Amino acid sequence: MAKYLVQKSGPLKGEVGISGAKNAVLPIMAASLLANEKCTLRDVPALRDVNVLSELLQYLGADVEKIDDNIYTIYTEDIKCVEAPFDLVKRMRASFLVAGPLLARKGRAKVYMPGGCTIGARPIELHLKGFQALGAEINQNDVESYVEISCNRLKGAVIYLDFPSVGATENIMMAASLAEGTTVIENAAEEPEIVDLANFLNKMGAKVKGAGTETIKIEGVESLSGCSHGIIPDRIETGTFMVAAAITRGEILIRNAVASHVKAITAKLSECGVIIEETDEGLLVRGNVNPLISTNIKTMPYPGFPTDIQSPFMAFLTTVEGSSVVIENIFENRFMHVPELNRMGASIKVEGRSAIIYGARPLQGSKVIATDLRAGAAMVLAGLVAEGTTEISEIYHIERGYENFIEKFRKLGATILRIDE
C-alpha cells in the first residue's frame, strides 16, 4: 500500500491552480446519459473517481473518450444496460447518481445500494422518495442489496426533501428533466455543484430554474441533445489550500478560485486572524500577518460551513491559542480524524456531534491513517507543521479526490514523499 511521508515544512508560499470540482463532474458525467448526442466536458479533474464513473458509463453503453487528462467526450447513442453492478458501485457511492438518468431515459434502473462509508450510513431514501413521487415503482432487495426502479413515463410532481440532500437533489433533477410536466423540488440543496449540473442540463435543452435556491423547478422535455461544458473549480480543494496557508502560517495565491463559493471558509479563517483578499490573479490567503486564534465552527448545508472542510479546519485549530468547538451537523460519524490528530499530540475531546479542541499543542510526527478523503487531507496539513516525519497510510482516499495533490503542495514548499510499499 502506498504511503506519504510528510516532513515539517515551514510556511507554504507561492501559487496554486484549482482543478475542476470532483462533486460537480460526477453528477454531470451521470447526466450525460440523458443525451442521445455527444457531450464534451472540459476542466475535468484527473481523479480515480472520474475513472471509476467512466468505467460504469461504458458498462451502461456510453462511448467515453479521454481527449486529454482534463477533456472527455461522452456519447450515449443508446443505453445498452440499465444495471449498475455491485463491483462498480461499491468502489464509489456517487455511482448511484446514474439511477435518475437511467430511469428518465430507459424507464428502468437496477443499482446496487452504495452502502455506508466511514463517515456515515449514507442512506438513499430521499432519492427513492423523489423517484416514487415522479411515479416510479421501487423494489428494494435488502438481501442482495440492490434497488430496482421502474416507470414507463415519469410525471412531474412537487417533492419536499426532509433534508437538503445534494445527491437526492441531483438525482431528482436529472430524472425530472425528461418527465412529463413540471417538477418542483422544495428544500433542495443549494450547493454550487447543483447550479453547475443545472447549467449543464439546460445546455442540453432541459428547463431547470432556481438551482442554487431552496426551490428548483424543472419543466420536463421530450429529449436532450449534446453540449460542451467546463466544470466549475473545486471549492473544497480551494478551502483545503486556504487552510494550508493558515496552518503553516504561509502565504498562498489560489488561482481560478471562486471567492463566492468559499464565503463561509473565508469568514471563519478571518475570525482566526487570517488575511484573505480577492485579487485579479486569484484569492490571496495570508496566515503570516496576525497571531492566529481559535474560533468555533458548525457544519451546515450550503451556504453554511462545508462539512468537507471540517477535518482540515480542525487540524488547523489544534495549532492556535485557545479552545475551539466544532459541531458536525451533516454526517453522523465524521470525527474519525480525531484519534489520528490526538496521536500526533493534539488535545481533542469528542462528545457526540461536538468536538472540543484545546489549542496550541505542539504536534509530533507519527504514523497515522487517512480515514476518508478529507480527513486524509487534514493529516497532510498536520504533518506539514508536526515535528519530524508523519507517515500517512490509506492515501488512496486522498488520491481519489484531489488532482495532483502532493505535486501542488511540493510546489508551495512542502516536503512530501510518496512511497509504494
Q: Where along the sequence are the contacts to ligand EPZ (CB under 6 A)? A: 22-23, 26, 94, 120-127, 163, 165-168, 189, 307-308, 330-331, 373-374, 401
Residue nearest to ligand EPZ (CB): 167
Rg (CA), the chain: 21
Cell output for 336 = 474519525
By beta-carbon proximity to ligand EPZ, the closer residue of 128 and 151 is 128
Alpha helices in 164-234 (DSSP H): 166-176, 192-203
By beta-carbon proximity to ligand EPZ, the closer residue of 201 and 253 is 201
By beta-carbon proximity to ligand EPZ, the closer residue of 208 and 253 is 208
Catalytic residue flag (residue 81): no
Please report how close the Cβ of residue 19 comes to ligand EPZ at its closest, in angstroms.
13
Q: Under 8 Å CB-to-CB from 341, ≥6 apart: which residues?
A: 314, 315, 318, 348, 363, 378, 379, 382
By beta-carbon proximity to ligand EPZ, the closer residue of 156 and 312 is 312
By beta-carbon proximity to ligand EPZ, the closer residue of 402 and 409 is 402
* DSSP secondary structure, 33-81, as one string: GGBSSEEEEES----HHHHHHHHHHHHHT-EEEEEETTEEEEE-SS---
- From the list 117, 151, 227, 272, the catalytic residue is 117
Measured distance CA(279)–CA(270) in Å, rounded: 16
Measured distance CA(131)–CA(125) in Å, rounded: 10
Measured distance CA(388)–CA(328) in Å, rounded: 31
What is the rounded end-to-end Cα distance, in angstroms, of the chain?
Answer: 5
Q: Under 8 Å CB-to-CB from 307, ≥6 apart: which residues?
A: 299, 328, 329, 330, 331, 334
Active site residues: 117
